[in-house]
A and B are shown apart, each in its own frame.
Chain A
Amino acid sequence: MATATYPPPPPYYRLYKDYLQNPKSAPEPPPPIEGTYVCFGSNYTTDDVLPTLEEQGVRQLYPKGPNIDFKKELRSLNRELQLHILELADVLVERPSQYARRVEEISLIFKNLHHLLNSLRPHQARATLIHILELQIQRRKQAVEDIKRRREEARKLLKESIATLDGN
C-alpha cells in the first residue's frame, strides 16, 4: 500500500535566521483574514451569524423584537408542543389520513425551539467573556498584592540583617 510522506515545512523559515538579533529583518505574519475565504475547496465565512428563521423558509412562532423573554417563550413553545402531540394522537384515532399537517406543525415547533436556543448562544458567549475578564482582574489584583507583600518582607529582612551586621 503506497503511503505519502508528510509535506515538508514551508521554506519561509530561512527568512527568520536573524530574528533574535533584529526582529525587523524578518517578514511580519500575514494579517487576519476578513470576509469569505476558500479552504480545501469549500467556502467559509469569518462572519458567523445565525440565519433567521425566515431565511430558512420556516415560520417564526415566537414574537420578534429587541429583547425576547427567553424563558417565557421556551415554556409556551413547550406547552404548544405537548398540545400538538395530543392533537396528533387524536387525529390518528379519528381521521388518520390527516396526520401530515399535524406532523408538519410539530416539526415547525421543534425548529422554532432549536432556533430560540441557538439564539441564546451569543448571549452566553458574552456572559462567559465577562466572567473570564472578572476572574482575570481578580487574579491580577491578587498577584499585585503578593508582589507588594514579598517586597515588604524582603526590605524588612534586609533591614534586620543590616542591623545584625552593624551590631557586630
Chain B
Amino acid sequence: MDIISQLQEQVNTIAALAFNTFGTLQRDAHPVKLSPNYPDPPPPSNPTEDPATAAGNVSEQPKLMTAALVKAAKQFDALVAALPPAEGGEDVQLKRIAELQAENDAVGQELQRQLEAAEKELKEVQELFGQATDNCLNLKRPD
C-alpha cells in the first residue's frame, strides 16, 4: 500500500483505539458513590465468571490499551518520517513534467526512425534472399 494510504489507515486505527479505550473504561468502571448514605454495592460474587475481568483486571486494561494507543501514535510518526521529501511545489513538478514530455517525444521520434530504417533493411534482405534462392533453384538442372 502506498505511504499516504498507510497514513490514512493509521489515523483511522488511532481513532478506533481511542474510542475503544474510552468505551471499555466506561463500561468496566466501578460505579461512582453519589452520597455516603447509600450502601456499597455487593462485591461481584464470582470474579472468574466474568470474562472481562478475567482477561485483565480493571487496572490492567487501561495500561494495555493506552500502550497500544501510544504505539499507534509512534507508528504514525514513523510513517510521517518515511514520507518522501517534498521537492519544490506544484510549479516545479509541472515544469519537470513538461521537460520529460518533450524528451519523451524526441526519443519516441528517434525510435520511430530507427524502426522504419530497420524494417526497410529487413524488406531489402528478404527480397535479396528471395532472389538468391530463385537463382539457386533456377541453376539446378531439372533431372
Contacts and interface: CB of A to CB of B under 8 A. Distances in A.
B107 A154 contact: no
Contact of B8 (A81, A114, A129, A137): A114
Interface in A125-151: 126-127, 129-130, 133-134, 136-137, 140-141, 143-144, 147-148, 150-151
A71 B18 contact: no
A130 B121 contact: no
Interface of B: 2, 4, 7-8, 11, 14-15, 18, 22, 26, 69-70, 73, 76-77, 80-81, 83-84, 86, 89-90, 93-94, 96-97, 100-101, 103-104, 107-108, 110-111, 114-115, 117-118, 121, 125
B126 to A, nearest CB: 12
Contacts, number: 93
A78 interface: yes
A81 to B, nearest CB: 7
Interface in A66-81: 66-67, 69-71, 74-75, 78, 81
B107 A141 contact: yes
A93 B71 CA distance: 24
A85 B69 CA distance: 10
A120 B4 contact: yes
21 contacts: A71-B83, A71-B86, A78-B80, A82-B70, A88-B22, A106-B18, A110-B11, A121-B4, A123-B90, A126-B90, A126-B94, A133-B97, A134-B100, A137-B103, A137-B107, A140-B110, A141-B107, A143-B111, A144-B111, A151-B118, A151-B121
Interface of A: 66-67, 69-71, 74-75, 78, 81-82, 85, 88-89, 92, 106, 110, 113-114, 117, 120-124, 126-127, 129-130, 133-134, 136-137, 140-141, 143-144, 147-148, 150-151, 154-155, 158
